[in-house]
Amino acid sequence: MFLRYNLLTILWAIFILFLVLLPGQHLPELAPTLLSIDKLAHAFVFCVLVLLMIVGFIKQSAFTGLRNNAIRNSLKISVAYAFVLEITQSLSNGREVDVYDGVANIVGCLLGYGLFYVIYKL
């Protein structure tokens, strides 16, 4: 049951890992910090990750702790994953740890919760 409802989340997390490990590229920036296309991409992928994870955790019935605290657990797991991936970027050619990427990741996680709230709670 768990895998059935969380397969998209797992595949999306693997997709994010693949993107993070790609060699560095220079994307055009709209502003020097949080408004670059790169930062928007970071926020987007983590927004989707959290949305998928919350929905998957709520629908599954194998782990009641995940189901009962789906939002909190999704945010904790996603932020931890973002942190680990940000550190992992330093292993890829031309990539480095960037505090603004980390901030964009966390903003994306919060946006994912907000999107879940708008879609399912309102």
Residue ranges per structural domain of the chain? 2-15+38-121
Does residue 57 sit in helix, strand or coil?
Answer: helix
- Supply the pLDDT for residue 93: 73
pLDDT of residue 121: 83
Q: What pLDDT score does 24 carry?
A: 64
Residue 82, pLDDT above cutoff 60? yes
* CB distance 101 to 42 below 8 Å: yes
Determine whether 8 is exposed, middle or buried from the number of CB atoms within 10 Å of its CB (0-12, 13-18, 19+): middle
pLDDT, greater one: 24 or 111: 111
Instruction: Write the CB contacts of 69 (distance below 8 Å, at least 6 apart in sequence).
Output: none
Q: Which whole number is the average pLDDT over 72-87? A: 96
Q: Which long-range contacts (CB under 8 A, 24 or more apart) does 78-84 make?
A: 78/46, 78/49, 78/50, 78/53, 78/109, 78/112, 79/105, 79/106, 79/109, 81/13, 81/16, 81/49, 82/46, 82/106, 82/108, 82/109
Query: Of 120, 110, 98, which Cα lies nearest the Cα of 39?
Result: 98
Residues in the chain: 122
Question: What confidence score (pLDDT) does residue 112 get?
Answer: 97
Q: What is the mean pLDDT of residues 51-70?
A: 96
Residue 16 has pLDDT above 80, yes or no: yes
pLDDT of 110: 98
